[in-house]
Amino acid sequence: MTVNLNIVEKCVSCLNIKESYDLARRMEQEKTNPVLGYRTAGSLAERKTGDMLLEEMKKAGLTQVEKDKIRVDAWEFKKAVMRCHDREGTCREIQLGAYQTDFKTNGFQRFDLVYLGKGTADEYKDIDVKGKLVLIEINQREEWWINYPVYQAHLKGAAALIAVQSRGYAQIDDTALNAQDIAGPSCAPAFSMSRADFLMIRQLMEEKNENGNRVPELSVEFDADTEVIKDQYTYNIVGKIPGTDSDSMILLSAHYDSYFEGFQDDNAAVAMIIGIARRCSVVAINLAILLWYVLLQQKNGGFPTQNMTGPQVLTARYLRRDRSGRGT
């Protein structure tokens, strides 16, 4: 798609970019996980953010601003922390990501962590994983989705599965945590680990595998709290700016739930379309804004502006954050 930069610059010159940036940052305040963020659909953090955005839409000049209640399976991911000790006795603490499943330890509990390659049926042969944490390494983008190895571990009696991305999504950064729609039963717990932490764990496993056991194993402490809560609710938030032509309408939409802090997906788009509404409220144009709930499916990608449309392209270009957290 060819973009006329002159038109883009003219559009952006009408907007208050600083104001939109500040709103995108304020959307990060409510979170279910105090370390990693997460403002997942149906969570208290998401609903509080929705209430804040409703007021922002009113301030922007939108009329008929209202909350459309819908039923969802909510997800609250509060923490997933693993501890292990190296040969010198130094405690290593790891923050894990999570998928939409149920797992509560009620504080740190000790588990055996077992490495089983890609987690295929053959790799489970003659291996007892009952009550253990199973660590696997998969290319989720090119091989299979996360629900397959997770359910395999569940059928084998594992306490939970921890997945590390190999190539594919892992190419973004060794410290990145994967977050995706699991598309599986909530009773089969699943977590994600960065490649950097995985390599450290594998090294510890090798150092402690003095007997040459076929299956690398490590004793760890794990503290997790993740829960899917059925039949909860969230809201679509709708506002309008009436124009002179009642037969046509411009519709802008974005979602306000997120994995992690959600700045690029989708805080920036939400903030930008409210900025557009603020500008459009002084001209005669039929504009409807819909901030909608959706359970996000791909969160760990880069910033593919070529695949976005409308205001999200402007958002990607002008409200990107660099690695230091600054807006550009």
- What angle, 0 to 180 degrees and rounded to 10, lies between the N-to-C axes of helices 311-318 and 5-13? 80
The pLDDT of residue 306: 32
Contact 38, 260 (CB under 8 A): yes
* One domain, residues 52 and 193: no
Q: Are residues 120 and 174 in the same domain?
A: yes
217 located within any domain: yes
**Whether residue 84 is found in the same domain as residue 216:** yes
96 and 203, same structural domain?
yes
Cβ–Cβ under 8 Å, residues 62 and 282: no
Residue 1 has a pLDDT of: 54
Q: Which domain holds residue 313?
A: 5-74+230-318
Last-in-domain residue among 196, 228, 260: 228
Residue 328 domain flag: no
Residues 56 and 87 in one domain: no
DSSP 263: I
Which of 228, 243, 268 is where one domain is finished?
A: 228
Are the beta carbons of 240 and 279 closer than 8 angstroms?
Answer: no
9 inside domain: yes
How much is the pLDDT for 285?
Answer: 53
Between the CA of residue 22 and those of 16, 34, 110, what are the distances in Å? 10, 20, 43
Domain total in the chain: 2
The CATH number of whichever domain residue 60 belongs to comes to: 3.40.630.10
pLDDT score of 37: 93
SS (H, E, C) 5-44: HHHHHHHHHCCCHHHHHHHHHHCCCCCCECCCECECCCCH
On whether the CB atoms of residues 132 and 113 are closer than 8 A, the answer is: yes
Are both 149 and 211 inside the same structural domain? yes
Query: Are residues 104 and 183 part of one domain?
Result: yes
> For the domain that residue 194 is a member of, what is the CATH number?
3.50.30.30
323 in any annotated domain: no
Q: What is the pLDDT of residue 322?
A: 34
Instruction: Give per-residue pLDDT as tens, 90-147.
Output: 899 999 999 999 999 999 999 999 999 988 888 999 899 999 999 999 887 778 788 8
Cβ-based neighbours of 90, under 8 Å, separated by 6 or more: none
**pLDDT value at residue 314:** 30
Q: Are residues 16 and 47 in the same domain?
A: yes
The segments of the chain whose pLDDT lies below 70 read 1-5, 7-8, 168-171, 209-214, 281-328
Whether residues 79 and 65 fall in one domain = no
The answer to whether the peptide bond before residue 112 is cis (omega within 30 degrees of 0) is no
Structural domain includes residue 324 = no
Q: What is the pLDDT of residue 296?
A: 36
Residue 326 lies in a domain: no
Predicted confidence at residue 290, as pLDDT, reads 65
265 close to 256: Cβ distance less than 8 angstroms: no
Does residue 167 belong to any structural domain of this protein? yes
Q: Which of 228, 248, 275 is the last residue of a domain?
A: 228
Question: For the chain, what is the largest distance between any 2 Cα atoms, rounded to a whole number of angstroms?
Answer: 80
